[in-house]
Amino acid sequence: MYDAIVIGSGIGGLTAAGLLAKVAGQRVLVLEKHTEPGGLTHSFSRDGATWDTGVHYIGQMAEGTTLRRYFDLLSNGELDWNPLPEPYDRFCYPGLDFPVPTGREAYIARLSALFPAEERAIRRWFRDTRRAARWLTLSYVQTLVPRPLAPLIRGFQRLTRGLATSTLRSQLDARFRSEELKALLASQWGDHGLPPSQSAFANHATIVEHYLDGAWFPAGGSARIARTIEKVIEDRGGAVRVAQEVTGILVEQGRAVGVRVIDRRAPLPEEREFLAPVIISDAGAENTLTRLLPTDDAVAQATARLREHVLGLGRSTSAVSVHLELDQRPDVIGAGGGNLWIYRNQDHDSGIGDNSLLRGEPRDAFVSFSSVKSGEKAHTLEIVSFTQAAAFEHWAGRPLHNRGRDYDELKQQIAEGLISLTETVLPGLRQHICHIDVSTPLTIEHYISQPGGTCYGLPGTPERLKGGPIGPATPVPGLFLTGQDVVCSGIGGSLMAGVAAASQVLGPRGFPSIQAALGQAPQPLSARLPEGKHQASVKRTRQLTPTVWELVLDVPGVGAFAPGQFARLEVAPTIWRDYSIVAVQGNEVRFLISTRTGGSGSRLVATTAPGTSVVVELPLGQFTSTGSDRRRVFVATGTGLAPLLPMMAARNDPRDLLLFGCRHTSEDLTRLLDDPLPETIRCITGEEAAGARRGRVTEVLAGLEVDATEFYLCGSAAMVADASAVLRRRGALHILSEPY
């Protein structure tokens, strides 16, 4: 039994869990539906390139600031921060390019130089952004103090309530004459997700104040946020357990006592229950109140008022993201590494609901350069534009990676439009693109479980702020909330919600204890590992091709796995990489690992001697055989062959067909491995070879029978995308894929 269970591993959940572990020594279990921890702080990779999903920059992270001290405490000092290049934000309009300076006075001076007739109004604006941001901070303080003190705080808030809860649009129109100046001052509305006519002034003011002194990003990428906090949680006997879909909160005699979970780590999903006297939900207020708690008994009656309030607020916007890999550094096309906010015109209140984005004619784009900020080798960037989830409902019931040809065409049209808009500021971008990946609101909802794929939780409208903070406490004893819905959105708001939740759990001395811990020096952490993680050792390695190695680990106590599943190796401190399992024999687990990227995983397999200790987490993943009796065609390039080998061996069906593609015969793994293979067509693009076809695997797919056939695709992201497109055009219905 655990001291507390946290549902969801977003920054709000990890903060609450980390503080309970670090400050109170509690044993906390964090349950995450996705196979990657971190919520919107996690990242994903394709062919060695990495992109961030939700964290693009964070303000107020200089040494000694409150937010930095919390991150230092939670990560035990292991999380380093890179400052973004100057300017950290750049607002781009037709005929106007405004680089945002660092510092309040510098910002005021640059705006005043452009709009000298409005200098006094500009100064009053920044005075009032500070006042409105303080108002929202007081809302947060309400969630920390004993309940009898909350009315006193609300009394202080009355002085600026009208300012804070007005709309951003009303404040702009009341203060300024220049439409151009109004547009500039509203440019960062994407950081809270609502355009000026819908957003509360306090939300926008908080964003403005948050970034006045610059911006930072985690060194090594945003995924290290979760991984460093995870170490602290494990040190106290807790765990961050992934592939755990919480389906319900257990309630006995009106009190939350545990959770019901579908464990998707095992070869077959199984239902489990975990018990604890404290349950903290980072799954969002709507999910918690309508999906996880009973809605037809005494608990439903107790939560009815809060549930109606939450549902009455509606949902915030969602977004489409285009993830690009470039063949050159971004500075080749004039990008300094700071963020770009690109707008077709000065009207921020049109565009989200008019489907212009879906037509390939986006009105706005936020461009962020992942690799420059994190220090990663591959050159990556994201282009983000906000949209409504309703535009994608037509494809909501279709499976991930196989939503249909029309969905693929829509994503391509959206990507083309956003790339074209970005090229108005970065000419020549298109010629340097070597990979494109597109996510939509359906992607966000699949991985993060937020209804409608909302990025910022409950919308930051005046109505939400007027209703007061939801806070971490709920009408159900033992159940607390954390995350963006508690007070306000963003990583800072989510982190402070985690502080509030942990404080409430620990009682009257909770917050003072947490504050006292902020001054503590980092402590040595134990090497304790939770269920599912193993201390392994390198058994042997073997180089198969110039860029592919075989790695065999000795993993005591390893259990069964489903063919197609993968393992996660800690290839450097708090840096993990996923590798498909080729085979398990006794305690030996075998992998095929590409060293083409030259990253941490490449160095591990190419330089590590037998006997070296490594940590491995397994098994994970749902890319497995369906078990149907249909004919199977397997398509692989490179180490994409790894998960297919055990699938083919498990059934040994004479109807199976393998298509394997590579550039040269020296890379032909099918000639180098002893694993049994079905009928195999080798496709080599770079040279003529005996017994092989000259060309790509997609050319073979164009002539295969697709009816009653399952296609399993694994390999380079480009191959998977091209092969999927070929099969969908031909009407294939059963396509299972996993790009790497």
Closest CA to 281 of 465, 491, 473: 473
| pLDDT at residue 616, rounded to an integer | 97
Range name among 143-152, 494-503, 575-584 with the lowest pLDDT average:
143-152
Please determine, for residue 740, whether its predicted confidence score (pLDDT) is greater than 70: no
| pLDDT at residue 149, rounded to an integer | 72
Q: Mind listing the pLDDT tens digit for each residue in 94-112?
A: 999 999 999 999 999 999 9
Mean pLDDT over 260-285 rounds to 94
| pLDDT at residue 629, rounded to an integer | 94
Q: Mind listing the pLDDT tens digit for each residue in 362-408?
A: 999 999 999 999 888 889 999 999 998 888 999 998 888 889 889 99
Please determine, for residue 148, whether its predicted confidence score (pLDDT) is greater than 80: no
| pLDDT at residue 304, rounded to an integer | 94
Mean pLDDT over 274-296 rounds to 95
**CATH number assigned to the domain with residue range 631-737, chosen from the 4 options 1.10.10.60, 1.20.1260.10, 3.40.50.80, 3.20.10.10:** 3.40.50.80
| pLDDT at residue 411, rounded to an integer | 95
What is the C-alpha separation between 99 and 95, in angstroms, rounded? 13
The share of the chain scoring above pLDDT 90, in percent, equals: 84
Q: Residue 288: which pLDDT band, with cuts at 50, 70 and 90?
A: very high
Under 8 Å between Cβ of 565 and 618:
yes
Mean pLDDT of the chain: 94
Kindly report the pTM of this predicted structure: 0.95
What is the C-alpha separation between 453 and 450, in angstroms, rounded? 5
Please determine, for residue 146, whether its predicted confidence score (pLDDT) is greater than 80: no
SS3 state of residue 102: coil
DSSP character for 706? -
Helix (H) or strand (E) holding 293: none
| pLDDT at residue 711, rounded to an integer | 97
Q: Mind listing the pLDDT tens digit for each residue in 402-425?
A: 898 899 999 999 999 999 999 999
Dihedral angle over CA of 461, 466, 467, 471, nearest 10:
80
Q: Mind listing the pLDDT tens digit for each residue in 318-372?
A: 999 999 999 999 989 999 899 999 999 999 998 777 789 999 999 999 999 999 9
Beta strands in 402-559 (DSSP E): 433-439, 479-481, 533-545, 548-554
Helices (H) and strands (E) in the chain, counts: 22, 31
- CATH classification of 4-61+220-314+456-518 is 1.10.10.10, yes or no? no
| pLDDT at residue 376, rounded to an integer | 83
Mean pLDDT over 216-237 rounds to 96
| pLDDT at residue 145, rounded to an integer | 73
Please determine, for residue 483, whether its predicted confidence score (pLDDT) is greater than 80: yes
Encoding tokens for residue 454? 């909302």
Same fold? 4-61+220-314+456-518, 631-737? no
Mean pLDDT over 51-57 rounds to 91
Please determine, for residue 497, whether its predicted confidence score (pLDDT) is greater than 80: yes
Strand 4-7, strand 279-281: pairing: parallel
Angle at 700 between CA 695 and CA 701, to 5 degrees: 130
For the structural domain made of 533-620, what CATH number should be given? 2.40.30.10
Phi, then psi, of 11 in degrees rounded to 5: -65, -30
Tell me which residue has tokens 């607002």.
91
Q: Mind listing the pLDDT tens digit for each residue in 625-648?
A: 999 999 999 999 999 999 999 999
Q: Residue 469: which pLDDT band, with cuts at 50, 70 and 90?
A: very high
Encoding tokens for residue 136? 């929202």
Residue ranges covered by each domain of the chain: 4-61+220-314+456-518, 103-212, 317-448, 533-620, 631-737
| pLDDT at residue 86, rounded to an integer | 92
What is the C-alpha separation between 234 and 231, in angstroms, rounded? 5
Please determine, for residue 303, whether its predicted confidence score (pLDDT) is greater than 90: yes
Q: Mind listing the pLDDT tens digit for each residue in 23-50?
A: 999 999 999 999 999 999 999 888 888 8
